Amino acid sequence: MDFNEIKKIIEEDGGKIIIVENGEPVMVVTSYAEYKKGRGKSEPKPKEKNLKPLPAELSGEELKIEDLPF
């Protein structure tokens, strides 16, 4: 199955595709709109006491995806 087939299934059915590996679900592919909608409901907000301070060189700057270490 290629990307266009996956995209068509999600767009037409408004659904999700669950990828299974060794009999266990390992990943869900969904639309960005569904991801954003579900993210606000299920992801707990971090507690301030567990947050680490930003390094001085990053304070005041917006973090971008390009800044991440992967």
**Could you report the per-residue pLDDT of 35-65, keeping only the tens digit for each?**
888 766 555 555 566 667 777 776 777 767 7
User: How many structural domains compose the chain?
Assistant: 1
pLDDT band for 11, please (50, 70, 90 cuts).
confident
Which helix (H) or strand (E) segment is 37 a member of?
helix 32-42
Predicted TM-score (pTM) of this structure:
0.43
**Which residue range(s) make up the domain with 15?**
3-67
Beta bridge partners of 25: 20
pLDDT for res 46: 56
How many Cα neighbours within 13 Å face the side chain of 48?
0
What does the pLDDT average to over 21-32?
Answer: 86
